[in-house]
Chains A and B, each alone.
Chain A
Amino acid sequence: MSALWIATIGAGLVAFTLKYTGHSIPAHLLAHPRIQRINALIPIALLSALVAVQSFTEKSRLMIDHRAAGVSVALVVLLLKAPFPVVVLSAAITSAAVYRLF
């Protein structure tokens, strides 16, 4: 089985297990405010790291290329309070333009 298949099936299994566990364990087990706080912080950490790695690295090397232009435009339109689809589309269009021109 290829790594892509393992990732696809494995992620699905763990995702469901987590959801089902939440529906099945007593509520007081995770009511601690510290756990709630960590739960809110983990997505911020992981998603930010993913933004950085996907924008500025290529095979374990740091790299600034057409993607940086696209993500910079995404940042600008987010500051202008654009909705999600506009953010993704404007990044794609900018990146594609830079990639084709240079």
Chain B
Amino acid sequence: MSVSRVEAITVRDSLSVSLTVGAYGIAFGAAAVANGFSVLQACLLSLLTFSGASQFAVVGVMGAGGSALSAIATASLLGVRNLLYGLIMAPHLQVKGFKRVIAAQVTIDESTAVALGSQKRGSDAMRHGFWLTGFGVFFFWNVFTLAGALGAQALGDTRAWGLDAAVPAAFLGLVWPRLEKNSDRALALACMVFALAMTPILPAGLPIIATAFIAIVVGLQR
């Protein structure tokens, strides 16, 4: 980070995003354990993958009986957007070596969003927003994952506590803000119907991955 002062507004934005988003980690930790992952595996998913939608996808696909390959493929397709965020952020961050490794790991929806939101206040504010939000979410997300995983482990039968419904509800909450256009809602609905129709036919996990191809076909045509 440069020597310039970090503006209070950047700190405020970063902290509020970090705390709110980090708290979702409870839902992830609980969902992971409810789907058969150990507390250690839940924590490693948050530390290593560190991308909410991808992590929920791993847990969701494995929980539905999918293969490890299906889980990794689905998570990776969801993680492709982080690659594009990296492309956007790299010219502003100008980091090399170990710093670039760290920057890459904290390149997620939230750090990129706060950085872009701070862009009009200059490139220092942008960089500060990226780093503060990246580290902030990383810290809270991992702490809350551990809390959620331990909590779910203590509960026993997770169905009696509604955790098997918390996972699809979390997916619904994640996709909801992306459904502003009618065409996007139509795509969402089509993918739901397709995945359900294919579930009795295809091996578990594949009906989910296959919908990515629907998205590609739609994206190429529009």
**Among B4-12, B37-45, B119-127, B135-143, the stretch in contact with A:** B37-45
**Shortest Cβ gap from B222 to chain A (Å):** 6
In the complex, whether B74 has a CB less than 8 A from a CB of chain A is yes
Question: How distant is A102 from chain B, measured CB to nearest CB, in Å?
Answer: 12
CA distance A45 to B186 in the complex (A): 10
Pick the contact of A53: B68, B161, B196 (CB < 8 A): B196
Which residues of B from 148 to 189 have beta carbons under 8 Å from A?
159-176, 178-179, 184, 187-189
Cross-chain contact B187 with A44 (CB below 8 angstroms): yes
Specify the main secondary structure of chain A where it touches its partner: helix
CA distance A85 to B222 in the complex (A): 34
Contact A71 B178 (CB under 8 A): no
Which secondary structure characterizes the binding site on chain B? helix
Which residues from A are CB-within-8-Å of B178? 40, 43-44, 47
In the complex, the answer to whether B170 meets A34 with C-beta atoms within 8 Å is no
Task: Compute how far the CA of A96 lies from the CA of B156 in the bound complex, rounded to whole angstroms.
Answer: 13
Contact with B along A11-55 (1 / 0, CB 8 A): 111111011111111010010001011111111111111111111
Contact B72 A11 (CB under 8 A): yes
Q: B132 within 8 Å of A by Cβ?
A: no
| A7:B57 contact, CB within 8 angstroms | no
Number of interface residues of A (CB under 8 A): 75
Asked whether, in the complex, the Cβ of B169 is within 8 Å of the Cβ of A45, the reply is no
Shortest beta-carbon distance from A57 to chain B in Å? 5
Q: With A and B bound together, what is the CA distance between A95 and B163 in angstroms? A: 8
| A11 in contact with B75 (CB, 8 Å) | yes
Cβ contact within 8 Å between B49 and A11: yes
Q: Give every chain A residue within 8 A of B169 (Cβ-Cβ).
A: 70-71, 74, 87-88, 90-92
| A57: chain B residues within 8 A (beta carbon) | 64, 196, 199
Question: Contact between A50 and B208 (Cβ–Cβ < 8 Å)?
Answer: yes
How far is it, in angstroms, between the C-alpha of A49 and the C-alpha of B57 when the chains are bound? 10
**What residues of chain A lie closer than 8 Å to B41, measured between beta carbons?**
4-5, 8
> Are the C-beta atoms of B87 and A11 separated by less than 8 Å?
no
CA distance A88 to B169 in the complex (A): 5
Check B48 against A16 for contact (C-beta < 8 Å): yes
Mask of B14-31 contacts with A, CB within 8 angstroms, 1/0: 000000100110010000
7 residue pairs from A and B, CB less than 8 Å apart: A7-B61, A13-B48, A14-B75, A44-B178, A84-B24, A87-B172, A96-B161
